[in-house]
Amino acid sequence: MIAPAMVARRAPFELLDLHGRRLSFLTPTTAVAIVAIFAPGELLADLLPATPNRTSAGPLLALVLTGTSCGAAFSVAGGTTVALGAAIGAIGGVAGALAGYSVRHAKVQYLKLPDGAVAVAEDLIAFGCGLLLVSQF
Q: Summarize pLDDT for 56-83 with one digit per residue, the tens.
A: 999 899 999 988 988 888 887 778 888 9
Q: How confident is the model over 83-109, as pLDDT tens digits?
A: 999 999 999 999 989 998 898 889 889
Nearest to 89 by CA among 14, 20, 15, 23: 23
The answer to whether the beta carbons of residues 11 and 27 sit under 8 Å apart is yes
pTM: 0.76
Measured CA distances, 73 to 11, 21, 79, 101, 119 (Å): 9, 9, 10, 26, 27
Among 88, 94, 97, which Cα is nearest to 126's?
97
* Radius of gyration, CA atoms only, the chain: 15
